[in-house]
Structure 1
Amino acid sequence: MADCGFLNNSGWFRYRAAAIIIEEGHVLMVKNDRDPYYYSVGGGVHQNETAEAAVCREVLEETGVEYEIERLAYIHENFFIGTENLEGVPCHEVAFYFLMKPRGTRELPISNSHGIHGDREHMVWLPVKDFDNFYAYPSFFAEKLLNMKESVEHVVTKEY
């Protein structure tokens, strides 16, 4: 299935669904063998797929574990300049971040997934209170995960 997104003369757009998985004060993030940064579990929403279905599919694909959604926590509009095969291209991503129900364990899931460039992915638990000490995206996690509101928050990040 194709992800909801496109590339045109104005730049690249992507619709993404992502998970916030927190256990014992740590958030589950992904690291691959290529990139120097950590990123959230999740990925592109497929055409004719809901964001809820997409986040459950992505979590299972990346972690091998079925998590349930607790609630939608953030809608993130992210404006940035692309790298690698999108080098210098203005990018606009809209991501729905879902808080997942905790399972009561920080046992590391063994990932059999690969990133968009084919690099093997690894799951890592990062301490929420020290999130700003890591090179990790989305950067708003450093502030927002410490004081999560009960309502959905709209977050806009502009890097250009």
Structure 2
Amino acid sequence: MEHNCAIINDKKAFRYRAAAIIVEDNEVLFAGNEVDNYYYSIGGAVHMGENSEEAIKREVYEETGVEYEIDHLAVIHENFFVGSSGLEEVDCHEIAFYYMMKPKGNKNLNSQSLTMGGVKESMHWIPINELDKCKSYPTFMKEFLESEHSGVEHIITYERD
């Protein structure tokens, strides 16, 4: 088993994550599952000894069944939120590198993905202009995708609700 770059100690957690932004036909790809009532970005923990580019290629393939190529690093996201570890709430601090992936020109996926807890994940193409109508994380995604950028954005969010 690979060791994730994460620390959980005394109801506080830190994790290092790689995430993908995959856009086709003005829709962005998010994941969902049978337990959580929200959508979330494609990606996951960077493993010890693995760089974020290797991690996102691995994670995207694991979740979609499709090999996507990286276009560029788009966002470094510092996120502060309340998560769960089993039945306990955990105060989380996450650093995520969001990579814009090169479009494939189609939305065919072969997803057989499971969450770390073993729950089946499903992939969802969400129209960018409707992202604010559903509960999805990260919360910056709609605004980010609807605006122009040069270089890497640094975004800090406090998503403790």
TM-score bin (small chain):
over 0.9
- Against the structure 1 CA distance between its residues 86 and 69, is the aligned structure 2 distance closer, same or farther, given a 3 Å change threshold? farther
Aligned partner of 1:151 in structure 2 is 151
d(CA) in 2 for partners of 1:79 and 1:13?
A: 9
Q: 4+ residue stretches of structure 1 with deviation over 6 A?
A: none
d(CA) in 2 for partners of 1:90 and 1:77?
A: 14
Q: Secondary structure at the match of 1:89?
A: strand
Aligned residues: percent identity? Answer: 50
Aligned partner of 1:126 in structure 2 is 126
Deviates more, 1:80-89 or 1:124-133: 80-89
Quote the RMSD (CA, aligned, Å).
1.3
d(CA) in 1 for partners of 2:45 and 2:132?
A: 25
For 1:80, the aligned partner's letter is: F
Matched, 1:51 2:52: yes
- Against the structure 1 CA distance between its residues 148 and 119, is the aligned structure 2 distance closer, same or farther, given a 3 Å change threshold? farther
Matched, 1:139 2:132: no
Matched, 1:93 2:94: yes
Say how many residue pairs are matched.
Answer: 159
Task: Tell me by how many angstroms 1:117 deviates.
Answer: 1.5
Q: Secondary structure at the match of 1:106?
A: coil
Whether the 8 Å CA contact 2:81–2:93 is kept in 1: the answer is yes
Task: Tell me by how many angstroms 1:10 deviates.
Answer: 6.4
d(CA) in 2 for partners of 1:64 and 1:145?
A: 24
Whether the 8 Å CA contact 1:19–1:99 is kept in 2: the answer is yes
- Against the structure 1 CA distance between its residues 86 and 13, is the aligned structure 2 distance closer, same or farther, given a 3 Å change threshold? farther
For 2:126, the aligned partner's letter is: L
Uncovered stretches (5+) of structure 1, i.e. residues with no partner: none
Whether the 8 Å CA contact 2:128–2:145 is kept in 1: the answer is yes
